[in-house]
Amino acid sequence: MWTPTHFPAAMRSLSPSTRAKAIEIANRLLEQGALDKQRVIAFSVSEARQWARLAQASPVNPSWQPHV
């Protein structure tokens, strides 16, 4: 499990709010049994960036839903 002070290097360049969302997504995926941590990290960063773009474009803060 990752935290705001212990997270993958791939999340270092994200803003604090986007990083927090990426950590939330990654931890949720790991809890659901995702085993490939590299894929989890890449997916969570991508989804968190999309979440951040939607949050900026929308007056209401959207909740994250995985794109499966």
The model's pLDDT over 18-66, given as tens digits with 9 standing for 90+, comes to 999 999 999 999 999 988 999 999 999 999 999 999 888 765 555 656 6
Cα end-to-end span (Å), the chain: 22
Residue 34 is predicted with a pLDDT of 82
Please report, for the chain, the start and end positions of each structural domain, with discontinuous segments joined by +.
15-57
Residue 66 is predicted with a pLDDT of 64
Residue 57 is predicted with a pLDDT of 78
Give the separation between CA 36 and CA 5, rounded to whole angstroms: 22
